[in-house]
Structure 1
Amino acid sequence: MTAARRPLARTLTQRLTLIALGVVALNVVVVGAYYGSDRPALEAEAVADMTDRLGAALEGVILPGNAPVRAIFADHPDAYAYALVDRTGVVIGAMNADLIPPSAADLYADDWITRIDLPQMRRVIAGHEFADRTDGLRVIFVMNADPAGLLRRAYFSELRQHVWAPVLPMAIVLIVASVLLIRRELAPVARAAAWARAIRPGAVTPPPDGDLPAEVADLIEATDRALNRLATALAAETRHAAEAAHALRTPVAVLVARLDALPQGETTDRLRADLAALARTVQQVLAASRTDVLAVPDKMALDLRDAAQAVTAALAPFAYEKGVELALSLPDAPVLARANREGVELALSNLIENAVLHGGPGLVEISVGPALTITVRDHGPGLPAAAGSQLFKAFWRGPAAVPGGTGLGLAIVERLQQAQSGEVSAQNAADGGCQIVLSYQSA
């Protein structure tokens, strides 16, 4: 069983996605390493973020008691502090004011930051004047050791601003654009594959036209030239087989006429049986030569009842000689299938001959339907247990097969069905005997 193949478009898209994600990851590593190594810049970013949050929570000159930003100062009284100072240096409001140096309130610069390295921690003291206010209100902010992770927040903020915001959308746009581009550029390859799948022996299938990439056009031209050479060789082989079979039919007919002039006897009967087997072999070679050139136009419609009637009538004398009765069952309504009449009759003839020869004396039933099927059923010993997938292989014969056969009949049937996009299946019937079904597509 052939393993499922991955589409080239999916493979290229997955690899491109991995490359884009790799670029994003590389940017994260590079930018993260850069900002992670620049602690003063992170501290300045953390201070700016906190002062912005304090300014946004103000109501007039007061920080309300229910402001969410107060939680940081309440949860870490030894690490963070703030003080709101007016233009005259008066502290209007504060939390953890004992952490703020008295001299910090006297600095009137718009923005400033001071860092002090202590034995067990690093202290950051900063001041900021709210630029959007006219009353000169300032905030003094102190951070010791940063247990609340303000530096980490600033670090991820930098990544978001310098990586996720600009790079990730660009990567997504690149992936989507590449998927569309890959599908469009690989469309000629899909057309070439569809053309190759549509090729059938003996049928003319023009190669796809239009604007094709040079590589795809070269592949199609090379394939078309190879197919033309194969078609020529196939036609020559088929012609030679047909010519040989036709050449054999005349001497076989002469031998039959001469045998009829001989007196009856055991030897004559054996010769007549051998000659009949030879005649069937010639017919099978002719049938095999036709399978490769069998054509079924899309709009061809054949009533399977007509083919079944013609074959049953033609083989009735042969079956009678073997002590077998043929019973044909037909539905009242036409059964229209997309099939070649010669192909259907050749396949059905082989099945009925097999049933007569291998099913033994008795009844062989031929029925059309249900649906687009023809069934041939005998009441003989059934299929051998060793048949399996060997049943439709050329020259394979069961261990109890009658002498004189070639093992070509069912192989020819399968080839005829494949040429018509049909199917053939065989199984043992529940109450004994073998049942083989020919299936066809609707017209």
Structure 2
Amino acid sequence: MKPPGSLYRRLLVWLLLPLMALGALMLIQAYLDARKTADRAFDRLLEAATLAIAEQVQWQNERLWLDLPPAALEMLATDAEERVFYALYDGDGEFITGNARLPGDPRGDAESGDTLYYRDIDWHGLDLRQGIRRTRLEDWSLRERFEVRVGHTREGRQVLTLSLLRGNLAYIAAMAGVAIIVLLLAVRSALAPLTRLRRAIRARDPRTLAPLELSLPRELAELRETLNELLARMRRVRANQERFIGDASHQLRTPLAGLSARAELALRQDDPQAWHDALKAMQATSASTARLAVQLLSLTRLNNPEATPELRRLDLNVVSRMAVRNAWNTCHRDGIDLGMEVPDSPVMAAGVDWQLEEALGNLIDNSRRYGAKRITVRTLPNPPTLEVEDDGPGIPADKRLLVLRPFYRGRDGGEGSGLGLAIVDGIARTHQARLTLREGQDGRGLRVILRFPGDRQ
């Protein structure tokens, strides 16, 4: 996979592209303005030339006559060595004199009085700027109409255009240089908070999960808050892990020490019966320890704030049957009557099947371990409800909240570890179900009720 490019480079590209486009537009506009200025300047010279020629036109020998002064055309001559053409025509369009027969005004006859018309023409392969002046002789007895036509090649205009453009290019280049420098500084300044954030994260101790305290712009402040939320979740996970380690070390220390003591005592005996008794006790202790470890893992997984399994629609009748089937052999071996009461129609609720099976399994196992002889698993509709009822010693009303705490036992004795009801409570909270502890039938035993918040469609 190709690594992503630099954010700094990406910003420069996306900012320089429109800047370059703007620079190109400025160059085109500068060229057009320079050409327009050059045309305007030379058009003034062209106007002066036509006026100077028109002032020298006279009437002699019954015809128009022109004595052209050199200055009339020299004003159009520059170092660019352009060529100048002129012609004099009478009112009827007849050529009188000149160094070229230039085309006339395409607009046709104009009104009396002086008029001046400019146009660009292609004449005999030459690109000319032509000026046409229509006027009359200024004589009290004769007002003969005539037309002065002057054509001027564009070399001088192009030289002036390039000269003006070079001046504009220096100005545009200076502006572009300043703009690029400002752009580089602006991008670097805009990315400086991101650099500070990166350095702050890199400099942190990997074991530190404290929130980041760094002043940042609003856009990066959102990233900082997101990182702080991630750190907060990691703190909760680590706290959950540390709590599990503490609970496990505390709860497993005693049975493991007991196993070691039993084994050491058995090694000192020579009687096979003593060895048999020690192995039997060690087997019971190891089974209890294994169950304790499993319950600790279950409790830790349920209390993990970041582990939220997706709830799906399931039939509580199926969950109850699976839990009863899993506990049947153990209860039957201990002489316990394990039964189930379910309606004929499905009882649908949103949940996680393995968690609910584990909750029912813990309730059945608690009842078995604390002396129940009859255990009934029951499902009820409207609202969906799971119940486990036994005929055991029950739990006093003043201790029913305390037994939901981890490692709290309702009474001394029994094989329980004090985690079964705590796990059931965690599963109930995961399913947003209400957990209730009540007396069984005839005031005997215990009835544990898991009431779900209705059938979720």
TM interval, short-chain normalised: 0.3 to 0.5
TM-score using structure 2 length: 0.41
Larger radius of gyration: 2
